[in-house]
Structure formats: structure tokens, C-alpha cells
Amino acid sequence: MQWFSVSLYQQTLSVRGWKAARQPVVLTVTPSTNDVARHHMAQGVCTGTVVVAREQKAGRGRMERSWASSPGGLWFSLILRPQRSPEQVVLLPLTVAVAMASALTDATEGLPIGLKWPNDLMVKDKKIGGILMERDGHGLVVGVGVNVNQRSFASLLDQKAISVFQLTGTEVSLERLLAGSMNAIYRYCREWEDDGGQATLEAWRHHSVTLGREVRVSLPGRQVKGKAIDVDDGGSLLVDTAEGTVRITAGDVTLLRQA
Ligand code: BTN
């Protein structure tokens, strides 16, 4: 039996501009949907093409981490070719995070989703989803992973990860969640194109579980500790430390005690 109903997905999809989004590439198992999407992108497929898999055998996350991708989660990669300046493109990861928070809240009838800088989706200080953007000369792949219907996680992951089912006791349709995610990403990307990301930044601050918290940021070869105070216009995290305000453009944030 097919694990994913394209017609159910199409019933919920309302994206107007990305025609290719109507015909997702549906896979049962693959190493990584990002790799499949990059391959398709190099062949010149249209913007809005989306690849979704039931299971990934070599899913990857930010900072070269592996990403556990068993059946029950939503694992997809979307092809974009943003025609914007590099200064504006830096806000795209935050834009997609805001869109995914909105899609997940809608799909779960109100589960509040927090954002940990730059684009982790969080509930109760555990990770419910993440976003990995990869860019090459052909365009941009937006890889999204959401823990949806998994009943449990392997013991080490269990301390850090949580699924929608564990929180609500209810299964969510992966077809409807993918379509809702595409609708939200499309909507927030249009807004980002129109205003350069100002609404993104406001929405990100609103969802943030990082700002106001004591954080430790791991950077190549050093760590920064302090209080996360804001994101600047370029989406960088500003951390108030004993040595003054440090601007973080890339790094791994750990949330410390509640402020
Ligand atoms: C992170 O938080 O570290 C990002 C996780 C991104 C995981 C998704 S699942 C679909 C796509 N394919 C991958 O191999 N990774 C992304």
C-alpha cells in the first residue's frame, strides 16, 4: 500500500505560484531527501519541487550531525531559487522556521511551537523539528524534518527530541502537514520577498525561546556564554557576555537555565 496519498496532499495544498509543488516526488526510503532534491535541482527541475520520504537512512542535520528519520516523521526537501541579494537570503532560514511553526500549530490545533536560534522547532525545551538549508550553484534546498507520529525515540535522543504524538496523543496526517507546510512556506516567502524580512524578524522574535535566556554558543574553536538579547536585521544572534555584546552569525546554541 502507498504510504503517502498525493490526492490527499493536493486537497490541502493552496500554493498558487509553485506549480511543481502539486506533484511531489514521493519515496519510501532514501539516504537523504536533500540529496535527492539536489540531484533533481541540478537537472533543472522547477522551483517548488518537493521530495518527501517515509524514511531516511542517512538523514543529516546542521553542524554535520546525523538526523534520525524513522517512519512516522515528516522528512521533506523543497527546491527554491531565490532571486534576492545575499543580505536578504540570510533571513530565509528564519523565515522557513516561522512558517513551519505556524504550519505545525495549525495542524495540531494549537500546539505552541518555540524557535531556538536559528531555526530549531522546540516544545518544552525539546526538539520537535529542524531545518537544513543547502545551497549550490543550481539553487537552494530547504530540508525540513518534523517529529510527528513517532511513539518513542532511542534512549539518547529521548532526552532531546519529542514528537507531536507524544505531546498530544493524536496522529497527524503527513499529507495534510506537508501541504500545510508548503502553504505556509510559500506565504512567508512571499512576505519575505515583499518586505525584505522585517515581518519574519518580528514573527521570529514572537516565537523565540532563545531571547532572554542564558545560552552557550559553540563556535569553531571557542564557546560564548551569556544572555541572548536579540536578533539583528541580518538574523544574527546578539549575546550579552561579560566582554560585551557578541554577534553570532553561525553556531550551535544550547539553552541554559531559565532567565
Ligand atoms: C537540524 O536541525 O539539524 C536540521 C535537520 C534537518 C533534517 C531534514 S529531514 C529532511 C532533510 N533531509 C535531510 O537529510 N535533512 C533534512
Mean pLDDT computed over 143-148: 98
Taking only the tens place, the pLDDT of each residue in 92-102 is: 999 999 999 99
Q: What is the CATH number of the domain that holds 97?
A: 3.30.930.10
Confidence of residue 258 (pLDDT cuts 50, 70, 90): low
Average pLDDT, integer, range 162-184 = 98
Domain assignment of residue 1, yes or no: no
CB 179 within 8 A of CB 13: yes
- The atom of ligand 1 lying closest to the CA of 34 is 12
Asked if residue 120 has its Cβ within 6 Å of ligand 1, the reply is yes
193 and 225, same structural domain?
Answer: no
Q: Which three cell numbers stand for residue 201?
A: 524578524
Q: Tens digits of per-residue pLDDT, 186-233?
A: 999 999 999 989 999 999 999 999 999 999 999 989 999 999 999 999
Check residue 186 and give its pLDDT: 97
Mean pLDDT score across all residues of the chain: 95
Residues 147 and 229 occupy one common structural domain: no
Q: Residue with the nearest Cα to atom 11 of ligand 1?
A: 143
Same domain, 151 and 89: yes
Cell representation of residue 52: 518527501
Q: Are residues 188 and 243 in the same domain?
A: no
Query: Which pLDDT score is estimated for 83?
Result: 87
Q: Is the CB of 143 under 6 A from ligand 1?
A: yes
Which residue range(s) make up the domain with 201?
6-207
For the chain, percent of residues with pLDDT exceeding 70: 99
Domain boundary among 207, 228, 244: 207
The confidence score (pLDDT) of residue 156 equals 87
Q: Could you identify the atom of ligand 1 that is nearest to the CA of residue 53?
A: 10
Q: Give the C-alpha separation, 8 to 175, whole Å.
A: 6
Strands 74-80 and 25-30: unpaired
Q: Please, which residues have CB within 8 angstroms of residue 181's CB and are 6 or more apart in sequence?
A: 74, 76, 99, 100, 103, 144, 146
Residues 158 and 238 in one domain: no
